[in-house]
Amino acid sequence: DAGVTQSPTHLIKTRGQQVTLRCSPKSGHDTVSWYQQALGQGPQFIFQYYEEEERQRGNFPDRFSGHQFPNYSSELNVNALLLGDSALYLCASSTGTGNPYEQYFGPGTRLTVT
């Protein structure tokens, strides 16, 4: 049973660049959420996708956008990168009909912005 997978595992970008992170949900899951986790902090909710639409969004600027594909995989795009965007980006999957807080996280993508 494949769990949540994310790519790449690490990424280094410079300020002003754009980045795309990818996520494949756990088998049987159709809902994908993205989180940003800074060092020493808890994950902060960015947004959630269900049925290829953004269902919920946290307090993040429009520079953060996403997409969900028909196979339920998802992408997180961040434009005009800032130094403060350096963090671990986590993807979590769940079932749309179950409790969305019962999530399974992927190993994350560590983004460093220089």
Partner 1 sequence: RKEVEQDPGPFNVPEGATVAFNCTYSNSASQSFFWYRQDCRKEPKLLMSVYSSGNEDGRFTAQLNRASQYISLLIRDSKLSDSATYLCVVSLEAGGSYIPTFGRGTSLIVHP
Q: By CB under 8 A, name the binding residues for partner 1.
A: 33, 35, 40-45, 56-59, 90, 99-108
By C-alpha distance, which of 89, 97, 101 is closest to 30? 97
| DSSP letter, residue 26 | P
Count Cβ atoms below 10 Å from residue 92 Cβ, excluding itself: 24
Instruction: Determine the Cα–Cα distance for residues 45 and 49; give it in Å rounded to an integer.
Output: 12
* Residue with Cβ nearer partner 1 (81 or 90): 90
| Cβ(114)–Cβ(17) below 8 Å | no
Minimum Å distance from CB 102 to partner 1? Answer: 6
* Residue with Cβ nearer partner 1 (72 or 89): 89
* Residue with Cβ nearer partner 1 (33 or 68): 33
Minimum Å distance from CB 25 to partner 1? Answer: 14
Residue 42 makes CB contacts below 8 A (sequence gap 6+) with: none
Minimum Å distance from CB 104 to partner 1? Answer: 7
Minimum Å distance from CB 5 to partner 1? Answer: 11
* Residue with Cβ nearer partner 1 (3 or 73): 3
